[in-house]
Structure 1
Amino acid sequence: MPHQGRHFLHIPGPSPIPDRVLRAMDMPIIDHRSAQFAELAKAVFRGSQTIFQTTGPVIIFPSSGTGAWEAAIVNTLSPGDKVLMVETGHFATLWRNMAVRWGIDVEFMPGDWRHGADPAAIEARLAQDSSHAIKAVMVVHNETSTGATSRVNEIRTALDKTGHPALLLVDTISSLGSIDYRHDEWKVDVTVSCSQKGFMLPPGLGFNAISEKARAAAKTSKMPRSYWDWEEMLKPNANGFFPYTPATNLLYGLRESITMLMEEGLESVFARHKRLAAAARAAVTHWGLEVLCQNPAEYSPVLTAVLMPPGHDADQFRKVVLETSNMSLGSGLGKVAGKVFRIGHLGECNELTLLGALSGVEMGLAKAGIPHRSGGVEVAIKTLEEPTLANAQSHLKVVKN
């Protein structure tokens, strides 16, 4: 039987596209060598710098996030270079596999898929590398498969404390525009991202924010590259153009999504994601289920990965939810396939949207016969009410002081 109402998309990306962004993209194609296009391109270059929190170049490729991964590798590294990566989950593993295919010597620090990258372990390993054989440290900021966020600022501190000259390459594909991230302040050399998560766009745009140190590394890199070459992009970008046909209508959408993020204010965007994530975790805990991420300091604001009780299949549960509530939840990936389902709460998501999603999960738990304690949605509501009061009290204390 067909469902009524809109489909509830609560995977951790692609995230739902706001109506404003859809309308912004609903435009006739224009000449990508015209002054009108140059005005659009320059606006999105400037706006992207604001979101990445950088004054340096942000290169926008017509690509997926995987393409932006590849661009980061082929512009900064050479075959045989040694890099340090951390097994935080499925996407860290995929980026590692790509690096290996490019002939990179990857030292992959093992992980349990329940934590982010350990800054202390990275510091200890870099301290051992007195010959500076490690050319780059590559980490995933928000591991979409596990719901664990790595502390990039602390990893930067680890590099600085050891005085190690390695480049810092960071994947922010599922975090940018949703979780506080500071490319310049944290001295990141290449930040990788894409369009379909915090930017609330369809897939199709890949981003590299790059430092001067990264551009210098590109001059000595021996990797073959053409489509992904930064300098070939930066030359025409300076005047608002691309070296090949750009994704014009996605750029219209990007301009609108940046406007929306700035209207709300980045700090408010980040706070909203934290508030919604806390409510989701409160519901999960009340149901008697377990959040996959084990370190509260690393809880992801954009998704919550939930472990199923032993003997119950996460994909079967997701099927029940889809068939009965018209809602898509994220599947378990890699090592946690069939064991985990993921609740996305990023991008265009507010309190009522989240509560609708949590209601669908709770109804699905009952329909699928999953052992749980009812009332998780009510707990989430109380959690959403509490921070408002706490923030108000905190503000009053500041005023009084």
Structure 2
Amino acid sequence: MSNTPSLANGRHYLAIPGPSVMPDRVLQAMHRPAPNIYTGELVEMVAGIVPDLRAVARTRHHVAMYIANGHGAWEAALCNTLSRGDRILVLGTGRFCLGWGEMATAMGVEAQVIDFGQRSDIDLDRVAEALAADTEHRIRAVLAVQVDTSTSVKNDIPGLRRTLDAAKHPALLCSDNIACLACDEFHMDEWGVDVMVTGSQKGLMTPPGMAFVFFNDKADRARERADLVTSYWDWRPRANPQEFYRYFNGTAPTHHLYGLRTALDMIVKEEGIEAVWHRHAVLARAVWAALEVWGQAGPVRPNIADRAKRSHSVTTVNFGPGNGKRMRDWMTAQAGVTLGIPLGGVEGPGGNAEDFLRIGHMGHVNAHMVLGVLGSLQAGMAALGIPHGPTGLEAAVKVIAEG
């Protein structure tokens, strides 16, 4: 590292794939005295949060809110739909669906795993084969992530529904949208998703601490036979509370709710979810354009080769031998930007985790923020002597200009 004085002093930018940048308005909404949790403004406000959560997920069905992170949402989805000894089909495209399956196994559920590796999306033909082989319909649920934040792959969730329907298989379709809700386009009802889980800390622009499980009536019917459900994780009283206290099976996450209300105002009422999707799509294409030009004369490679299979919320990149760590260190020390570390064996057999970094472009981000990250990355490659096509930033600028 150079002994040149750092240029990082100033407002630091956390460009990791979650927790995302929190809007000042959200933080200011949370900075207030504790409210009454039994009557008054908080109770009235939460009643309005539920319809806006449904609007983001594009569903008319149920939503249960929890004081938890994404792993809590995983457990809630599993325990409300499954019993010990049930079988599920786990479709691994990175660390997180595999982790969801491991949780199910620890709960006494049999997980049939198809691991598609660290560079690929779900192969629907292989899923069709697995469903066809399940002639007794022992598989109760199919678990997938729409976006795996370790690999940055985006899976074809409506394609999974078509595959299940073609096989005439009754399994629930369960989608993990923790990394991508309110970033990548998602239509829960239109796509035939039965259960969807997410968290507050990424596209929903609220600090970590809240988790959400969206579920339809078919999934709720599975609750009738589920022997894993417990009092705390039971989604029924949360989705249809007879009193406010039951929304959270105890004290509400009061200040998170004020922040979430403001975030939903920004997403649903002000920008609009379609415009949010468009913004993320353009910013993602700007990132990809820069990476692809840099890679024309150097080692830089997006982890997912096919643009159509890349997430609009996070991009995992191989910068070449050891260069991922070198770039992360330089960006923090010299540019005031923190990038994401690699997760979950993304390097693959014979690879090196130090080659990789992850760029978060989710939530409260705009053109100048993304261009700042890309300009800093280009400066870092020049400073560290990493070969690269010299006009990557210009390629990103062109994408932004075209909108």
TM-score for both structures, normalised by structure 2: 0.92
Deviations 1:156-203 (A, max 9, x none): 111111110001111000111111111111221110000000001100
Q: Distance in 2 between matches of 1:266 and 1:125?
A: 35
Aligned to 2:276: 269
Aligned to 2:177: 172
Q: Could you tell me how far 1:326 is from its partner in structure 2? A: 1.0
Q: 2:280 aligns to what SS in structure 1?
A: helix
Checking the alignment, whether the CA contact within 8 Å between 1:87 and 1:111 is kept in structure 2 is yes
Q: 1:76 aligns to what SS in structure 2?
A: coil
1:294 to 279, 295, 305: 305
AA in 1 matched with 2:263? S
Checking the alignment, whether the CA contact within 8 Å between 2:93 and 2:121 is kept in structure 1 is yes
Aligned to 1:315: 325
Deviations 1:112-152 (A, max 9, x none): 21122222321222122221111100001111011110110
Distance 1:219 1:238, change over 3 A: farther
Q: Distance in 1 between matches of 2:252 and 2:244?
A: 14
Checking the alignment, whether the CA contact within 8 Å between 2:206 and 2:256 is kept in structure 1 is yes
Aligned to 2:317: 306
Q: Could you tell me how far 1:245 is from its partner in structure 2? A: 0.5
Checking the alignment, whether the CA contact within 8 Å between 1:37 and 1:240 is kept in structure 2 is no
Equivalent pairs: percent with the same residue? 37
Q: 2:35 aligns to what SS in structure 1?
A: coil
Aligned to 2:32: 27
Aligned to 1:40: 45
Asked whether 1:282 is paired with 2:289, we answer: yes
Aligned to 1:392: none
Which moves more between the two structures, 318-327 or 19-28?
19-28
Q: Distance in 2 between matches of 1:383 and 1:252?
A: 35
Q: Distance in 2 between matches of 1:122 and 1:281?
A: 29
Deviations 1:325-350 (A, max 9, x none): 11011111121232311111111111
Name segments (4+ residues, structure 1) moved above 3 Å.
237-241
Which moves more between the two structures, 284-293 or 20-29?
20-29
Checking the alignment, whether the CA contact within 8 Å between 2:245 and 2:251 is kept in structure 1 is no
Gaps of 5+ in 2: 347-352
Q: Distance in 2 between matches of 1:13 and 1:52?
A: 19
Checking the alignment, whether the CA contact within 8 Å between 1:308 and 1:339 is kept in structure 2 is yes
Checking the alignment, whether the CA contact within 8 Å between 1:32 and 1:241 is kept in structure 2 is no
Asked whether 1:329 is paired with 2:329, we answer: no
Gaps of 5+ in 1: 389-401
Which moves more between the two structures, 168-177 or 229-238?
229-238
Q: 1:67 aligns to what SS in structure 2?
A: helix
Aligned to 1:250: 256
Q: Could you tell me how far 1:232 is from its partner in structure 2? A: 3.4
Aligned to 2:364: 348
Q: Could you tell me how far 1:214 is from its partner in structure 2? A: 1.0
Which moves more between the two structures, 291-300 or 281-290?
291-300
The aligned length equals: 386
2:241 to 236, 240, 249: 236
Aligned to 2:349: none
Deviations 1:59-103 (A, max 9, x none): 110110110011001110111111111120011221121111111
Q: Distance in 2 between matches of 1:238 and 1:126?
A: 42
Q: Distance in 2 between matches of 1:27 and 1:53?
A: 31
TM-score for both structures, normalised by structure 1: 0.93
Q: Could you tell me how far 1:291 is from its partner in structure 2? A: 0.7
Asked whether 1:5 is paired with 2:4, we answer: no
Q: 1:60 aligns to what SS in structure 2?
A: strand
AA in 2 matched with 1:185? E
How large is the Cα RMSD of the aligned pairs? 1.6
Aligned to 1:75: 80
Q: Distance in 2 between matches of 1:277 and 1:150?
A: 16
Aligned to 1:383: 399
Asked whether 1:52 is paired with 2:68, we answer: no
Q: Distance in 2 between matches of 1:141 and 1:217?
A: 22
Which moves more between the two structures, 365-374 or 210-219?
365-374
Q: 1:177 aligns to what SS in structure 2?
A: coil
Checking the alignment, whether the CA contact within 8 Å between 1:115 and 1:295 is kept in structure 2 is no
Q: Distance in 1 between matches of 2:31 and 2:283?
A: 30
AA in 1 matched with 2:84? P
Checking the alignment, whether the CA contact within 8 Å between 2:61 and 2:216 is kept in structure 1 is yes
